[in-house]
A = this chain, B = another copy of it.
Amino acid sequence: MIPITTIERLANHVGETVTLRGWVHNKSSKGKLHFVQLRDGSGYVQCVVFKGDVSEELFEAIGHAGQESSLVLTGLVKAEPRAPGGFEIGVKAGDVLQKVEGFPITPKEHGPDFLLSHRHLWLRSKRPWAVMRIRDCVISAIRRFYDEQGFVCVDSPIFTPAACEGTSTLFEVNYFDDEKAYLTQSGQLYAEATAMALGKVYCFGPTFRAEKSKTRRHLTEFWMLEPEIAYATLDDVMQNAEELLCYVVKSVLERRQTELEVLERDLTKLHSITAPFPRLSYDDAHALLEKAAPGQHKYGDDFGAPDETILSNAYDRPVMVHRYPKEVKAFYMKRDAADPTKALCVDVLAPEGIGEIIGGSQREDDLELLLGRIKEHQLPEEAFAWYLDLRRYGSVPHGGFGLGLERTVAWICGLEHVREASPFPRMMYRIYP
């Protein structure tokens, strides 16, 4: 029996006859020859159809099969170093399942709005294909990294009764009987509860921000990884983030070479992602900015996008900016004992001007201080009653961070816009398809 295989696995079948099942990605014909660039989701391969080798019917059918026609091809696998991917199929038999004409997305340029409206079809193009396979690799590397270290994946809930970081950017849901629920902006508070139960945990799921911003860095729905570690200090958190990013980039370099080539990614940029990453205090970062763009950044303020660009371009690897003024950071962050005006926090800025991909901190573990800050920020105390319990019953030093998946993928892939890193991006004016 002729084995059915995938393009990804052709190396195991050189000299054999196999069956591939896929779609016409591209086609050209020359007299008695059709050259079909076949895609099957796992890769792309050139299939040569010589009129003398196949039935007249099949030769004819392939001649009329336009882009995205579905077909099954059986043929001999040859090593062909000049061919993209290194193999070529000498077709002997096959079947065109559906002849397609007029596939909407052609090799010509299309505007972003047209492509986004056809995202379900656009995903079949080479670039989105490569991005989605790298995204998959990033996800599985992240999970493997934590699995290997004995972290436990505990998913935080999506429906929450209250906001983690203010209420202005929350999506409201009509729950039962006119009750309201809100979509989570971050699983962190819940991850803190599970870290107290399971030690080292992570959650990794979709999060939601109803931000009215239309920048190339924002989505209303994005996936976030949030590890949380009992007994961790800020230094532990920074080390974990550093190790994670190195592990993920290494995994992509090893397992997604073809895809990085499709994206024409400059690999030297990725090869330089090794520990140690530069660690820069907020004060040092401000000093660096003053030198590069005098007067642009006001001491005490958070960094804006232009500031992040300068900081992230100053290094060839992610830079960890730590100890921001407490005023610009969240209520749950612990103060630095050495300088109580600062929070024990870290933002990791990816290189090449991508900006923040990680935000983390050591958490405030003192009940009274935390309670004071909830009052100070005028947050609804009763909504945080359960959270305060964590400081009432066996409080310990702990910390963690949040990593935005799509921003991380955008950085690794070298994408202009974060929306390309999401399979079906949701933005302010887009929830279709």
- Interface residues of chain A, those whose CB is within 8 Å of chain B, are 6, 8-9, 21-24, 40-42, 68-70, 97-98, 100, 103-104, 118, 120-121, 123-124, 128-129, 132-133, 135-136, 139-140, 143, 147, 150, 152-161, 171-176, 179, 181, 183, 190, 193-201, 205-206, 208, 210, 212, 220-221, 223, 230-231, 386-387, 389-390, 392-396, 423-424, 426, 428-429, 431-433
Most chain B C-beta atoms within 10 Å of own C-beta, residue among A23, A179, A394: A394
Take A21-B396, A194-B123, A424-B157 as given contacts and tell me if A40 and B6 are in contact as well, using a CB distance cutoff of 8 Å. no
- State the Cβ distance, A11 to closest chain B Cβ, in Å: 13
CB-CB under 8 A from A143, the residues of chain B are 140, 143
CA distance A135 to B203 in the complex (A): 13
CB-CB under 8 A from A396, the residues of chain B are 21, 23, 70, 97-98
CA distance A410 to B427 in the complex (A): 36
CA distance A143 to B424 in the complex (A): 21
* Contact of A136 with B153 in the complex, beta carbons under 8 Å: yes
* Contact of A41 with B197 in the complex, beta carbons under 8 Å: yes
- Select from chain B the residue with minimum beta-carbon distance to A211: B176
Most chain B C-beta atoms within 10 Å of own C-beta, residue among A128, A393, A429: A393
* Contact of B431 with A160 in the complex, beta carbons under 8 Å: yes
Take A136-B154, A143-B143, A158-B206 as given contacts and tell me if A386 and B120 are in contact as well, using a CB distance cutoff of 8 Å. yes
CB-CB under 8 A from A390, the residues of chain B are 120
Identical subunits present: 2
Instruction: Determine the main DSSP class of A at the interface with B.
Output: mixed
* Contact of A70 with B395 in the complex, beta carbons under 8 Å: yes
CB-CB under 8 A from A208, the residues of chain B are 158
* Contact of B230 with A431 in the complex, beta carbons under 8 Å: no
- State the Cβ distance, A202 to closest chain B Cβ, in Å: 10
CA distance A389 to B122 in the complex (A): 12
- Select from chain B the residue with minimum beta-carbon distance to A384: B433
Q: Which of B200, B206, B395 contacts A41 (CB 8 A)?
A: B200
Most chain B C-beta atoms within 10 Å of own C-beta, residue among A41, A154, A429, A432: A41
- Select from chain B the residue with minimum beta-carbon distance to A397: B97
* Contact of A123 with B193 in the complex, beta carbons under 8 Å: yes
CA distance A433 to B383 in the complex (A): 8
Q: Which of B69, B118, B161, B221 contacts A394 (CB 8 A)?
A: B69
CB-CB under 8 A from A200, the residues of chain B are 41-42
Take A123-B194, A210-B176 as given contacts and tell me if A8 and B150 are in contact as well, using a CB distance cutoff of 8 Å. yes
CB-CB under 8 A from A179, the residues of chain B are 431
List of 4 A-B pairs having minimum Cβ-Cβ separation, nearest first: A41-B199, A386-B433, A123-B197, A120-B193
Take A154-B136, A176-B428 as given contacts and tell me if A40 and B199 are in contact as well, using a CB distance cutoff of 8 Å. yes
